[in-house]
Amino acid sequence: MEISKIITNIKKERPEINSVFFVGCGASKADLYPAKYFLEVNSKKLRTSLYTANEFFYATPISVNEKSIVITCSLGGSTPETVQASKKAMELGAKVIAVTHKADSPLTYNAHFVIVHGFEKNYAAKLEKMTNVLGLAAEILNQYEGYENYDALWDGIGKIYGLIENSVATVVPSAKAFAEKYKDDSIIYVMSSGATYEVAYAFSICLLMEMQWINSGTFHDGEFFHGPFEITEKGVPFILLMNDGKTREMDSRTLTFLNRFDAKTTIIDAKDFGLSSFVDSSVIDYFNPMLITAVLRVYAEQLALQRNHPLTKRRYMWKLEY
């Protein structure tokens, strides 16, 4: 069902909603962050929270009830923690929307509505998950409270996939340079701010730690100056994801500091890809994560090639029970 219809249907049955919960694990949790961030900044009344699925399951908020919408997300639709959380949300009376690449997966049987998104086709398809969830959030906000930049947001959704494909086509040389420069590093830090904060997180825990077995740490770049920056020295490896939008000032301050002390710094900057020519300034914050995630994918692929370590190689996942 299309996004707007899902919310129209929910509203017909539940004219009042208090809260919107986002629930997932790992990269699928991080992909929910831009939508959660969007609601956090723009909604006047709706509560919103983002949970790793087991935390939601074991310490379920008492506000999960018939006045809640719960959006659960798993690429393959079979992450046991997320399926279990989705089931619990239904039992508590919430309206549950599952977002997955896999139709007829266990997650889809534990939800009232299902959105199936692409993945394999191209880089843009890999961002359908994150973008659809942002669309859901905008739809919920608009139908339940009204949202003045609703048209601008959907206009942005209509344009972001094209921008992604154009952008990734240009970045192989810089991704190769990155891969050569970072291939032997024993730790890489990743930072960002705003709606892109958990893109940094996902790159750190999934692309670097999970798929490359490289040590990594990640934090909000607004937090950098309140602890982590003391490890900055010449040559310490960082990746900084720079937003075009309200939080750019924080990203820039961090870049200045890294350059001042000659850290090994790679930036992925939404401005370099002309995001503002495609997306209206009123909603630009929420599209940085899609663009930057796609570009980072190319960087990860080049790193994998340089290191002769395929992104699909695992020690534990898919191999044993845990």
Question: Segment contacting a copy of itself (CB under 8 A): 9-17, 50-58, 169-177, 276-284?
Answer: 50-58
Q: Is there binding between residue 15 and a copy of itself (CB under 8 A)?
A: no
Per-residue contact track with a copy of itself, 65 to 84, x per CB under 8 A? --------------x-x---
28 versus 108: smaller Cβ distance to a copy of itself: 28
Please name the residue that has the structure tokens 């949790």.
29
Question: Segment contacting a copy of itself (CB under 8 A): 2-10, 27-35, 158-166, 288-296?
Answer: 27-35
Among 2, 104, 180, 314, binds a copy of itself (CB under 8 A): 314
40 versus 165: smaller Cβ distance to a copy of itself: 40
Among 17, 27, 97, 241, binds a copy of itself (CB under 8 A): 27
Q: Is there binding between residue 215 and a copy of itself (CB under 8 A)?
A: yes
Compute how many residues bind a copy of itself; rule: CB under 8 A.
Answer: 70
Q: Is there binding between residue 297 and a copy of itself (CB under 8 A)?
A: no
Question: Segment contacting a copy of itself (CB under 8 A): 35-43, 107-115, 174-182, 269-277?
Answer: 35-43
Q: Is there binding between residue 317 and a copy of itself (CB under 8 A)?
A: yes
With helix as H, strand as E and coil as C, how does the chain read? CCHHHHHHHHHHHCCCCCEEEEEECHHHHHCCHHHHHHHHHHCCCCEEEEEEHHHHHHCCCCCCCCCEEEEEECCCCCCHHHHHHHHHHHHCCCEEEEEECCCCCHHHHHCCEEEECCCCCCHHHHCHHHHHHHHHHHHHHHHHCCCCCHHHHHHHHHHHHHHHHHHHCCCHHHHHHHHHHHCCCCEEEEEECHHHHHHHHHHHHHHHHHHHCCEEEEEECCCHHHCHHHHCCCCCEEEEEECCCCCHHHHHHHHHHHHHCCCEEEEEEHHHHCHHHHCCCCCHHHHHHHHHHHHHHHHHHHHHHHCCCCCCCCCCCCCCCC
167 versus 194: smaller Cβ distance to a copy of itself: 194
22 versus 161: smaller Cβ distance to a copy of itself: 22
49 versus 108: smaller Cβ distance to a copy of itself: 49
Closest approach, Cβ 61 to a copy of itself, in A, equals 5
Closest CA to 35 of 170, 259, 195, 180: 195
Q: Where along the sequence are the contacts to a copy of itself (CB under 8 A)? A: 18, 25-29, 40-49, 52-55, 58-63, 79, 81, 186-187, 193-194, 204-206, 209-211, 213-220, 222-223, 225-233, 245-247, 249-250, 253, 257, 285, 314-317, 322
